[in-house]
Amino acid sequence: MTEISIVLFALALPCIITGVILMMAMARVVQSRGYPVNWLWIRLYIIKYVHQYKKITVRESGRPGPLFYPFVISMNAALLFALVGLAIELI
């Protein structure tokens, strides 16, 4: 592995960890509002929970909740870092 790809993968790791923490926090908010959350299969249902979280918070305050955009940004950043690192590695 080249040094640049290692750095990019290392940058993706905190983004993934942040995304997982935000994902669990959003699932907890959804659960506290009365929606069922399957903690065993959270990785499969996370898109559903993120959508429910956004819908709930928009209904309550008119805007997506404070966990929504940091989750989207961290997951997109992790994807970007990983894909660029993989592309550099394959070149």
Mean pLDDT of the chain: 95
d(CA 48, CA 38): 11
**Quick one: angle between helices 68-90 and 42-61, nearest 10?**
140
What is the C-alpha radius of gyration for the chain, rounded to an integer number of angstroms? Answer: 16
To which residue do tokens 């008119």 refer? 62
The closest of 42, 35, 37 to 20, measured between CA atoms, is 42
Q: pTM for this one?
A: 0.90
Tokens representing 33 are: 């509002």
Q: Provide the residue ranges of all domains of the chain, joining segments of one domain with +.
A: 3-90
Question: Tell me: the pLDDT tens digits for 62-80?
Answer: 999 999 999 999 999 999 9
